[in-house]
């Protein structure tokens, strides 16, 4: 009797999955994406996990611009048939839409190698304490190139010129960062920054900054941990670590909140800093990033060593607005406003500084 009951249940289950298979296939062929997406919980509850069902669900999510949900289904389908050309036609752009460009390149036989893009930036800093802190100007040129689908490099040169009550200063900087995509969402970023400072009549020296970061894409999250060593300030080695988390609440990249916590340690004394913000995607060609920084720190760096603060004046807090507009497939314009609350190191006078900049990126 028990065997008959078990056999009946098994037959009913087979009939149920067969009906679900026919229904999902019919909705896919009819391009009824909304109804097919609504079937996902039922398909999962019935244990239907194979290439066709994940591929159909992925396409349905993709057509509705739910790129993160589509990516999850396509990744499951990829485990069953990694050689499927039909799958790769969706999986590759899914990685691109979620800004996992190296993951996309590893699957794309036609992914370009060599020079990727070039960048030019120019800006000026102004203060409301001009008697002691004069205007500073800077220019930066950067170049990104790929030597392998899994390995790319960013080079950047920055030159700046400024003045203070004690004299003028000139600074030349070279930054190099690698991006090695290990696989399964993991990327390793080694970086180094060399800085030659000539501050008349006191200093003429070269600083270094070196470290590495580990980045992980997981569902709607992007996690990053970094550690570095530097001799900024020429007062012995300093160590900085940071943790950053970015979250994508909308699959279509409408907005991305982020938060970062970091500590700069030197001779058993630690300076805690945090930064938070949001990036808003107005359209495919236009986005805005807002960020706020709190730290009361000096001799620190941001963006894995890309931005270095080696001024002797500590920064208490600051805000940033970054506006980006892509005018064509090759040209993107940037506008930058950065405002800080700082303290003059010799007189302990608080003052405000504002940096205005613009940039142009050319896709090569």
Residue 154, pLDDT score: 97
Helix axes 85-97, 51-63, angle to 10 degrees: 40
Residue 334, pLDDT score: 97
Give the C-alpha distances (Å, rounded to integers) separating 76 from 56, 109, 195, 199: 12, 21, 46, 57
Q: 177 falls in which pLDDT band (50, 70, 90)? A: very high
Comparing C-alpha atoms, which of 364, 255, 274, 253 is closest to residue 316? 274
pLDDT greater than 70 at residue 227: yes
Residue 3, pLDDT score: 44
pLDDT greater than 80 at residue 268: no
Residue 269, pLDDT score: 67
Tokens of 341: 């609350």
pLDDT digits (tens, 9 = 90+) for 314-348: 899 999 999 999 999 899 999 999 999 998 888 88
pLDDT digits (tens, 9 = 90+) for 113-127: 788 999 999 999 999
Residue 2, pLDDT score: 40
161, 136 Cβ separation under 8 angstroms: yes
| 165-168 CB contacts, 8 Å cutoff, 24+ apart | 165/131, 165/132, 165/133, 166/202, 167/199, 167/200, 167/201, 167/202, 168/199, 168/200
Tokens of 244: 């950053």
116, 152 Cβ separation under 8 angstroms: yes
User: What's the mean pLDDT in 274-296?
Assistant: 92
pLDDT greater than 80 at residue 225: yes
Measured between alpha carbons, how far is 264 from 161 in angstroms, rounded to an integer? 26
pLDDT greater than 60 at residue 8: no
User: What's the mean pLDDT in 133-161?
Assistant: 94
Q: Which CATH number fits domain 12-98: 3.20.20.140, 3.90.1010.10, 3.30.2130.10, 1.25.40.10?
A: 1.25.40.10
Please, which residues bridge with residue 168 across strands?
A: 163
pLDDT greater than 70 at residue 250: yes
pLDDT digits (tens, 9 = 90+) for 48-91: 889 999 999 999 999 998 999 999 999 999 999 998 999 999 99
Does the 114-363 domain belong in CATH 2.40.160.60?
yes
pTM of this structure: 0.88
Residue 203, pLDDT score: 75
Residue 13, pLDDT score: 43
Which residues of the chain form CATH 2.40.160.60? 114-363
Which residues of the chain form CATH 1.25.40.10? 12-98
User: What's the mean pLDDT in 194-211?
Assistant: 86
pLDDT greater than 50 at residue 9: no
Tokens of 288: 């805005």
Helices (H), 64-167: 67-80, 85-97, 101-107
């Amino acid at each position: 009797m028990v065997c008959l009951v078990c056999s009946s249940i098994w037959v009913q289950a087979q009939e149920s999955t067969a009906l679900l298979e026919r229904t999902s296939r019919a909705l896919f062929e009819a391009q009824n994406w909304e109804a097919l997406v609504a079937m996902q919980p039922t398909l999962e509850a019935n244990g239907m996990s194979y290439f066709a069902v994940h591929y159909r669900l992925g396409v349905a999510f993709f057509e509705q611009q739910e790129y993160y949900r589509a990516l999850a289904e396509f990744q499951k389908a990829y485990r069953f048939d990694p050689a499927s050309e039909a799958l790769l036609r969706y999986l590759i752009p899914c990685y691109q839409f979620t800004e996992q460009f190296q993951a996309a390149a590893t699957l794309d036989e036609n992914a370009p190698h060599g020079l990727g893009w070039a960048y030019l930036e120019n800006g000026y800093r102004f203060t409301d304490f001009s008697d002691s802190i004069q205007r500073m100007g800077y220019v930066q040129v950067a170049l990104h190139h790929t030597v392998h689908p899994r390995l790319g490099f960013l080079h950047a040169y920055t030159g700046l010129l400024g003045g203070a009550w004690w004299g003028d200063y000139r600074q030349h900087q070279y930054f190099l960062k690698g991006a090695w995509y290990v696989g399964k969402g993991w990327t390793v970023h080694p970086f180094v920054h060399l800085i030659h400072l000539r501050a008349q009549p006191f200093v003429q020296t070269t600083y270094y900054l070196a470290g590495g970061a580990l980045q992980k894409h997981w569902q709607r999250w992007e996690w990053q941990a970094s550690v570095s060593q530097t001799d900024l300030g020429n007062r012995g080695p300093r160590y900085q670590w940071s943790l950053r988390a970015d979250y994508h609440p909308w699959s279509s990249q409408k907005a991305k909140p982020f938060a970062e916590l970091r500590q700069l340690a030197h001779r058993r004394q630690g300076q805690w800093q945090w930064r938070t913000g949001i990036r808003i995607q107005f359209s495919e060609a236009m986005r805005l990033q807002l960020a706020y920084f709190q730290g009361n720190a000096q001799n620190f760096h941001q963006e894995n060593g890309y931005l270095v603060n080696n001024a002797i004046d500590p920064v208490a807090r600051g805000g940033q607005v970054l506006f980006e507009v892509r005018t064509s497939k090759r040209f993107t314009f940037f506008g930058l406003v950065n405002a800080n609350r700082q303290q003059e190191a010799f007189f302990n006078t608080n003052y405000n500084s504002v940096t205005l900049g613009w940039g142009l990126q050319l896709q090569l």
